[in-house]
Structure 1
């Protein structure tokens, strides 16, 4: 029964879309990975997407609940975000989304 209830739970995605100053995407990627590495409870995964040939990107961070992101905002996390802020052309656009469908490959061993 608990597996069925877990199946019904939806994840949430925090999405940030932004553009970095020319040539700074690699530095931003390093800082993003450091920030994500500070997450613990409720964290379900993260992706950093880069539009080919540009410094535009989308960060997608998966959470079990919206509130757990707030719980993970440690001093170390905030310091990394402060370090990253000057790399943006302008502040990123951010939103939360409920994950309504999740489709993946089936690993048949």
Structure 2
């Protein structure tokens, strides 16, 4: 790893939404299926659920915005089409740049 690696920041694709009542589990399975299609530049994914609700937040980390875009394959798009009817309304999506990372001391 050289100095330039320390200057490069990851990006996070954030989606915040609510599924129709009782549809969170079905959406979770599709989410896992969609994430399994990712390859180059994929750094990790988290799906958070507000306890007792069908509200959730997806956080997917990427090496670059270009990698994120490149991973939106036909298979991914097909899975996303299956997921969209499960939402109560379309999710809010935003891309953020990771500018500070603080890890616990070991």
For 1:36 and 1:23, locate their aligned partners in 2 and report how far apart those are by CA, in whole Å. 22
Shift of 1:31: 0.4
Are 1:94 and 2:97 counterparts?
Answer: no
The equivalent of 2:80 in structure 1 is 81
Structure 1 unmatched ranges of 5 or more: none
Are 1:16 and 2:4 counterparts?
Answer: no
The equivalent of 2:69 in structure 1 is 70
The equivalent of 1:5 in structure 2 is 4
Aligned length: 106
For 1:38 and 1:76, locate their aligned partners in 2 and report how far apart those are by CA, in whole Å. 8
Shift of 1:52: 0.6
Describe the superposition over 1:36-95 as per-residue Cα deviations: whole angstroms up to 9, x where unpaired. Answer: 010000111110000011000000010111111110011110110001011000000000
For 1:103 and 1:27, locate their aligned partners in 2 and report how far apart those are by CA, in whole Å. 33
RMSD: 1.2
User: Any idea what SS the aligned residue of 1:16 has?
Assistant: strand
The equivalent of 2:103 in structure 1 is 104
Q: Which runs of 4+ in 1 moved over 4 A?
A: none
Describe the superposition over 1:5-26 as per-residue Cα deviations: whole angstroms up to 9, x where unpaired. Answer: 2122100000000000001101
For 2:101 and 2:26, locate their aligned partners in 1 and report how far apart those are by CA, in whole Å. 30
